[in-house]
Amino acid sequence: MKEQTKKIHIIDDDVSVIEILSDYLKLSDFEVSYNQNPVEALNDLSSINPDVILLDLNMPEMNGFDVLKKIRNNVLFNNTGVILLTSHDHINYKIKGLEEGADDYITKPFQKAEVLARVRAVLRRYEKNTGAKEIKEDDLLKGDLARFTLVDLLQFFDINKKKGKVRLLDIDGEIDIANGSFADIRYKNFLGLDALRRILLFNYGKFEVDFDFAVKDVKGFRISDVLLDCLSYIDELKRDIQPEFEENSVIIIMDKSLSSKFNLTKEEVNILELLSLYPLDLKEGIWILKNLFENKRIKIKGEEK
Protein backbone atom coordinates (compact mmCIF):
# COMPACT_ATOMS: atom_id res chain seq x y z
CA MET A 1 0.00 0.00 0.00
CA LYS A 2 1.35 3.41 -0.97
CA GLU A 3 2.42 5.58 1.95
CA GLN A 4 0.12 8.54 2.58
CA THR A 5 1.51 11.86 1.36
CA LYS A 6 2.69 14.06 4.23
CA LYS A 7 1.18 17.54 4.50
CA ILE A 8 3.27 20.66 5.12
CA HIS A 9 1.63 24.00 5.93
CA ILE A 10 3.58 27.25 5.59
CA ILE A 11 2.63 30.34 7.61
CA ASP A 12 4.64 33.32 6.34
CA ASP A 13 3.72 36.78 5.09
CA ASP A 14 6.60 36.76 2.58
CA VAL A 15 5.26 35.55 -0.79
CA SER A 16 8.74 34.79 -2.13
CA VAL A 17 9.50 32.46 0.80
CA ILE A 18 6.19 30.66 0.30
CA GLU A 19 6.85 30.19 -3.41
CA ILE A 20 10.39 28.87 -2.91
CA LEU A 21 9.43 26.45 -0.16
CA SER A 22 6.21 25.30 -1.86
CA ASP A 23 7.93 24.48 -5.15
CA TYR A 24 10.78 22.62 -3.46
CA LEU A 25 8.63 20.63 -1.03
CA LYS A 26 6.20 19.66 -3.78
CA LEU A 27 9.11 18.32 -5.82
CA SER A 28 9.96 16.22 -2.76
CA ASP A 29 6.46 14.65 -2.84
CA PHE A 30 4.88 16.66 -0.02
CA GLU A 31 1.40 18.14 -0.13
CA VAL A 32 1.82 21.86 0.56
CA SER A 33 -0.62 24.54 1.70
CA TYR A 34 -0.03 28.01 3.11
CA ASN A 35 -1.38 31.17 4.74
CA GLN A 36 0.11 34.64 4.64
CA ASN A 37 -2.11 35.82 7.50
CA PRO A 38 -1.48 34.12 10.88
CA VAL A 39 -5.03 34.71 12.14
CA GLU A 40 -6.50 33.06 9.06
CA ALA A 41 -3.97 30.25 9.45
CA LEU A 42 -5.25 29.41 12.93
CA ASN A 43 -8.77 29.17 11.55
CA ASP A 44 -7.68 26.93 8.66
CA LEU A 45 -5.31 24.53 10.44
CA SER A 46 -7.94 22.20 11.90
CA SER A 47 -9.37 21.43 8.47
CA ILE A 48 -5.93 21.09 6.87
CA ASN A 49 -4.49 18.88 9.66
CA PRO A 50 -0.85 19.25 8.57
CA ASP A 51 1.96 16.92 9.65
CA VAL A 52 4.47 19.77 9.91
CA ILE A 53 4.00 23.55 10.11
CA LEU A 54 6.71 25.95 8.92
CA LEU A 55 6.03 29.08 10.96
CA ASP A 56 7.58 32.51 10.44
CA LEU A 57 8.16 34.48 13.64
CA ASN A 58 7.92 38.00 12.22
CA MET A 59 4.42 38.68 10.88
CA PRO A 60 1.85 41.47 11.19
CA GLU A 61 -1.30 41.10 13.32
CA MET A 62 0.17 38.22 15.37
CA ASN A 63 3.79 37.20 15.84
CA GLY A 64 4.96 33.62 15.45
CA PHE A 65 5.41 33.01 19.19
CA ASP A 66 1.73 33.79 19.80
CA VAL A 67 0.71 31.52 16.93
CA LEU A 68 2.95 28.77 18.34
CA LYS A 69 1.31 29.05 21.78
CA LYS A 70 -2.16 28.66 20.29
CA ILE A 71 -1.06 25.66 18.24
CA ARG A 72 0.48 23.95 21.26
CA ASN A 73 -2.59 24.66 23.41
CA ASN A 74 -4.81 22.82 20.90
CA VAL A 75 -4.89 19.04 21.43
CA LEU A 76 -5.68 18.56 17.74
CA PHE A 77 -2.05 19.38 16.99
CA ASN A 78 -0.35 17.18 19.60
CA ASN A 79 1.23 15.16 16.80
CA THR A 80 2.01 18.10 14.51
CA GLY A 81 5.59 19.25 14.20
CA VAL A 82 6.42 22.96 14.18
CA ILE A 83 9.59 24.42 12.67
CA LEU A 84 10.22 28.13 13.18
CA LEU A 85 11.50 30.35 10.35
CA THR A 86 13.11 33.67 11.21
CA SER A 87 15.74 36.17 10.18
CA HIS A 88 16.87 36.48 13.81
CA ASP A 89 19.97 34.42 14.65
CA HIS A 90 19.98 35.32 18.33
CA ILE A 91 20.19 32.39 20.76
CA ASN A 92 17.40 33.85 22.95
CA TYR A 93 14.91 33.52 20.08
CA LYS A 94 15.86 29.89 19.59
CA ILE A 95 15.59 29.09 23.30
CA LYS A 96 12.22 30.82 23.60
CA GLY A 97 10.86 28.99 20.55
CA LEU A 98 11.96 25.58 21.79
CA GLU A 99 10.58 26.28 25.27
CA GLU A 100 7.23 27.28 23.75
CA GLY A 101 7.01 23.93 21.97
CA ALA A 102 8.74 24.30 18.60
CA ASP A 103 10.53 21.22 17.31
CA ASP A 104 13.23 23.01 15.37
CA TYR A 105 14.44 26.42 14.25
CA ILE A 106 15.78 27.59 10.86
CA THR A 107 17.41 30.96 10.28
CA LYS A 108 16.80 32.90 7.06
CA PRO A 109 18.32 32.96 4.53
CA PHE A 110 18.19 29.17 4.46
CA GLN A 111 19.28 26.40 2.17
CA LYS A 112 16.32 24.54 0.69
CA ALA A 113 18.05 21.23 1.31
CA GLU A 114 18.42 22.10 5.00
CA VAL A 115 14.68 22.78 5.29
CA LEU A 116 13.90 19.44 3.66
CA ALA A 117 16.27 17.56 5.95
CA ARG A 118 14.79 19.17 9.06
CA VAL A 119 11.21 18.52 7.92
CA ARG A 120 12.03 14.85 7.41
CA ALA A 121 13.74 14.63 10.80
CA VAL A 122 10.70 16.12 12.57
CA LEU A 123 8.37 13.77 10.68
CA ARG A 124 10.46 10.79 11.72
CA ARG A 125 10.32 11.83 15.37
CA TYR A 126 6.51 12.09 15.37
CA GLU A 127 6.06 8.86 13.43
CA LYS A 128 8.03 7.02 16.11
CA ASN A 129 6.10 8.65 18.95
CA THR A 130 2.60 8.17 17.54
CA GLY A 131 0.96 5.05 18.88
CA ALA A 132 4.13 3.87 20.59
CA LYS A 133 3.57 1.54 23.52
CA GLU A 134 4.95 2.36 26.94
CA ILE A 135 8.60 1.41 27.19
CA LYS A 136 10.05 -0.07 30.37
CA GLU A 137 13.66 -0.47 31.44
CA ASP A 138 13.47 -4.26 31.17
CA ASP A 139 12.58 -3.89 27.48
CA LEU A 140 15.85 -2.08 26.85
CA LEU A 141 18.41 -4.30 28.60
CA LYS A 142 19.25 -6.02 25.30
CA GLY A 143 17.99 -5.67 21.76
CA ASP A 144 18.61 -5.02 18.09
CA LEU A 145 18.66 -1.61 16.42
CA ALA A 146 16.66 -3.07 13.53
CA ARG A 147 13.71 -3.45 15.94
CA PHE A 148 14.36 -0.68 18.46
CA THR A 149 16.34 2.21 17.01
CA LEU A 150 19.05 4.24 18.69
CA VAL A 151 16.81 7.32 18.42
CA ASP A 152 14.16 5.45 20.43
CA LEU A 153 16.75 4.62 23.08
CA LEU A 154 18.05 8.17 23.35
CA GLN A 155 14.55 9.64 23.55
CA PHE A 156 13.71 7.17 26.35
CA PHE A 157 16.72 8.39 28.33
CA ASP A 158 15.83 12.02 27.62
CA ILE A 159 12.15 11.81 28.53
CA ASN A 160 12.72 9.75 31.69
CA LYS A 161 15.98 11.49 32.71
CA LYS A 162 17.67 8.12 33.18
CA LYS A 163 21.33 7.35 33.76
CA GLY A 164 23.15 4.52 32.06
CA LYS A 165 25.54 3.22 29.43
CA VAL A 166 24.42 2.08 25.96
CA ARG A 167 26.83 -0.45 24.45
CA LEU A 168 26.61 -0.98 20.69
CA LEU A 169 28.10 -4.43 20.50
CA ASP A 170 28.46 -4.93 16.74
CA ILE A 171 29.99 -1.55 15.89
CA ASP A 172 32.28 -0.88 18.88
CA GLY A 173 30.39 2.10 20.24
CA GLU A 174 29.38 3.34 23.69
CA ILE A 175 27.17 6.19 24.89
CA ASP A 176 27.02 7.34 28.51
CA ILE A 177 23.94 9.35 29.47
CA ALA A 178 23.01 11.19 32.65
CA ASN A 179 19.86 13.22 33.31
CA GLY A 180 18.99 13.92 29.70
CA SER A 181 22.55 14.78 28.62
CA PHE A 182 25.39 12.95 26.92
CA ALA A 183 28.21 12.34 29.38
CA ASP A 184 30.46 10.50 26.94
CA ILE A 185 30.19 9.20 23.36
CA ARG A 186 32.65 6.89 21.61
CA TYR A 187 32.63 5.09 18.26
CA LYS A 188 35.89 3.25 17.64
CA ASN A 189 38.46 6.09 17.86
CA PHE A 190 35.93 8.90 17.33
CA LEU A 191 34.56 10.90 20.25
CA GLY A 192 31.77 13.34 21.09
CA LEU A 193 29.26 14.57 18.53
CA ASP A 194 31.45 13.33 15.70
CA ALA A 195 31.08 9.83 17.12
CA LEU A 196 27.32 10.27 17.57
CA ARG A 197 26.82 11.26 13.92
CA ARG A 198 28.72 8.17 12.81
CA ILE A 199 26.76 5.89 15.14
CA LEU A 200 23.45 7.28 13.86
CA LEU A 201 24.36 6.05 10.37
CA PHE A 202 23.63 2.51 11.60
CA ASN A 203 20.13 1.00 11.70
CA TYR A 204 21.25 -2.51 12.65
CA GLY A 205 23.35 -4.24 15.28
CA LYS A 206 22.99 -5.60 18.81
CA PHE A 207 22.90 -3.32 21.82
CA GLU A 208 22.70 -3.62 25.58
CA VAL A 209 21.91 -1.03 28.23
CA ASP A 210 23.41 -0.95 31.72
CA PHE A 211 21.23 1.22 33.95
CA ASP A 212 23.46 0.43 36.95
CA PHE A 213 26.61 1.80 35.34
CA ALA A 214 28.04 4.68 37.39
CA VAL A 215 27.81 7.52 34.87
CA LYS A 216 29.46 10.71 36.06
CA ASP A 217 27.31 13.83 36.27
CA VAL A 218 29.08 16.03 33.77
CA LYS A 219 27.82 19.02 31.79
CA GLY A 220 27.51 17.49 28.34
CA PHE A 221 25.30 18.13 25.34
CA ARG A 222 21.60 17.80 26.10
CA ILE A 223 19.98 15.06 24.03
CA SER A 224 17.06 17.29 23.05
CA ASP A 225 19.43 20.05 21.91
CA VAL A 226 21.62 18.03 19.54
CA LEU A 227 19.67 14.96 18.41
CA LEU A 228 17.51 16.70 15.81
CA ASP A 229 20.52 18.51 14.32
CA CYS A 230 22.39 15.21 14.08
CA LEU A 231 19.44 13.51 12.39
CA SER A 232 19.13 16.36 9.90
CA TYR A 233 22.84 16.00 9.16
CA ILE A 234 22.40 12.23 8.60
CA ASP A 235 19.49 12.92 6.23
CA GLU A 236 21.77 15.20 4.22
CA LEU A 237 24.46 12.52 4.05
CA LYS A 238 21.99 9.87 2.90
CA ARG A 239 20.75 12.20 0.20
CA ASP A 240 24.27 13.17 -0.89
CA ILE A 241 25.43 9.59 -1.49
CA GLN A 242 22.93 9.40 -4.35
CA PRO A 243 22.75 8.74 -7.26
CA GLU A 244 25.85 6.54 -7.19
CA PHE A 245 24.83 4.71 -4.00
CA GLU A 246 21.71 3.76 -2.06
CA GLU A 247 21.51 3.34 1.72
CA ASN A 248 21.52 -0.45 1.42
CA SER A 249 24.33 -0.63 -1.18
CA VAL A 250 26.94 -3.27 -0.33
CA ILE A 251 30.42 -2.18 -1.32
CA ILE A 252 33.14 -4.59 -2.46
CA ILE A 253 36.67 -3.35 -1.81
CA MET A 254 38.67 -3.85 -5.02
CA ASP A 255 41.78 -1.94 -3.93
CA LYS A 256 43.11 -3.87 -0.91
CA SER A 257 45.15 -0.89 0.27
CA LEU A 258 41.87 0.78 1.28
CA SER A 259 41.32 -1.79 4.03
CA SER A 260 44.08 -0.31 6.16
CA LYS A 261 43.10 3.30 5.35
CA PHE A 262 39.51 2.68 6.47
CA ASN A 263 40.52 0.22 9.22
CA LEU A 264 38.40 -2.49 7.57
CA THR A 265 38.43 -6.15 8.55
CA LYS A 266 36.14 -7.35 5.73
CA GLU A 267 36.01 -7.03 1.96
CA GLU A 268 32.26 -6.34 1.73
CA VAL A 269 30.65 -3.55 3.72
CA ASN A 270 27.50 -1.42 3.70
CA ILE A 271 28.07 2.01 2.17
CA LEU A 272 27.02 3.88 5.34
CA GLU A 273 29.27 1.74 7.53
CA LEU A 274 32.15 2.43 5.14
CA LEU A 275 31.37 6.15 5.32
CA SER A 276 31.33 6.01 9.13
CA LEU A 277 34.96 4.82 9.04
CA TYR A 278 36.24 7.75 7.00
CA PRO A 279 38.67 9.49 9.37
CA LEU A 280 37.87 13.11 8.45
CA ASP A 281 34.72 15.11 7.63
CA LEU A 282 31.86 12.82 6.59
CA LYS A 283 30.70 15.06 3.73
CA GLU A 284 34.22 15.01 2.38
CA GLY A 285 34.06 11.24 2.82
CA ILE A 286 31.13 11.02 0.41
CA TRP A 287 33.17 12.81 -2.26
CA ILE A 288 36.07 10.42 -1.61
CA LEU A 289 33.85 7.33 -1.92
CA LYS A 290 32.32 8.57 -5.17
CA ASN A 291 35.82 9.18 -6.51
CA LEU A 292 36.89 5.65 -5.50
CA PHE A 293 33.82 4.27 -7.23
CA GLU A 294 34.50 6.23 -10.41
CA ASN A 295 38.06 4.92 -10.46
CA LYS A 296 36.88 1.32 -9.88
CA ARG A 297 38.70 0.99 -6.57
CA ILE A 298 35.38 -0.01 -5.01
CA LYS A 299 32.27 -1.43 -6.66
CA ILE A 300 28.66 -2.09 -5.73
CA LYS A 301 27.82 -5.73 -5.15
CA GLY A 302 25.40 -7.10 -7.75
CA GLU A 303 26.15 -4.50 -10.40
CA GLU A 304 27.59 -5.54 -13.75
CA LYS A 305 31.27 -4.94 -14.33
Domain harbouring 111, CATH code: 3.40.50.2300
Both 121 and 87 in one domain: the answer is: yes
Domain membership flag for residue 85: yes
Reading across the β-sheet that carries 181-187, which strands appear in turn? 142-144, 206-210, 164-168, 173-178, 181-187, 190-191
Both 143 and 34 in one domain: the answer is: no
In this prediction, residue 86 carries a pLDDT of 82
Q: Which of 96-110, 158-172, 178-192 has the lowest mean pLDDT?
A: 96-110
In this prediction, residue 133 carries a pLDDT of 46
User: Is residue 205 scored above 80 in pLDDT?
Assistant: yes
Helix-then-strand count for the chain, H and E: 11, 14
User: Is residue 1 scored above 50 in pLDDT?
Assistant: no
User: Is residue 194 scored above 70 in pLDDT?
Assistant: yes
Note down the domain range covering 221. Answer: 137-234
Both 226 and 254 in one domain: the answer is: no
Contact 137, 166 (CB under 8 A): no
Both 260 and 181 in one domain: the answer is: no
Distance, in Å, from the CA atom of 93 to the CA atom of 98, rounded to the nearest integer, reads 9
Last residue within a domain, chosen from 129, 164, 199: 129
Please, what is the end-to-end C-alpha distance for the chain in angstroms?
35
Domain membership flag for residue 14: yes
SS3 81: strand
Q: What are phi and psi of 245, to 5 degrees?
A: -125, 155
User: Is residue 170 scored above 70 in pLDDT?
Assistant: yes
Both 218 and 266 in one domain: the answer is: no
Q: How many domains does the chain have?
A: 3
Cα 174 to chain center, whole Å?
19
What are the tens digits of pLDDT across the range 61-100? 788 889 999 998 888 888 899 999 887 766 677 777 877 8
Domain membership flag for residue 2: no
Distance, in Å, from the CA atom of 77 to the CA atom of 94, rounded to the nearest integer, reads 21
Last residue within a domain, chosen from 129, 151, 181: 129
Last residue within a domain, chosen from 201, 234, 267: 234
Q: How confident is the model at residue 188 (pLDDT cuts 50, 70, 90)?
A: very high
Q: Which of 148-157, 175-184, 193-202 has the lowest mean pLDDT?
A: 148-157
In this prediction, residue 218 carries a pLDDT of 66
In this prediction, residue 196 carries a pLDDT of 95
Domain membership flag for residue 305: no
Both 115 and 81 in one domain: the answer is: yes
Both 177 and 118 in one domain: the answer is: no
In this prediction, residue 245 carries a pLDDT of 94
Angle, helices 223-240 vs 112-129, to 10°: value is 120
In this prediction, residue 141 carries a pLDDT of 75
In this prediction, residue 89 carries a pLDDT of 63
Both 119 and 14 in one domain: the answer is: yes
Both 150 and 45 in one domain: the answer is: no
DSSP H helical segments within 9-86, as ranges? 15-27, 38-48, 64-72
Both 118 and 148 in one domain: the answer is: no
In this prediction, residue 7 carries a pLDDT of 94
Distance, in Å, from the CA atom of 292 to the CA atom of 226, rounded to the nearest integer, reads 32
Both 146 and 192 in one domain: the answer is: yes
Both 150 and 98 in one domain: the answer is: no
| β strands within 136-287, DSSP E | 142-144, 164-168, 173-178, 181-187, 190-191, 206-210, 250-253, 268-270
Domain membership flag for residue 283: yes
User: Is residue 228 scored above 60 in pLDDT?
Assistant: yes
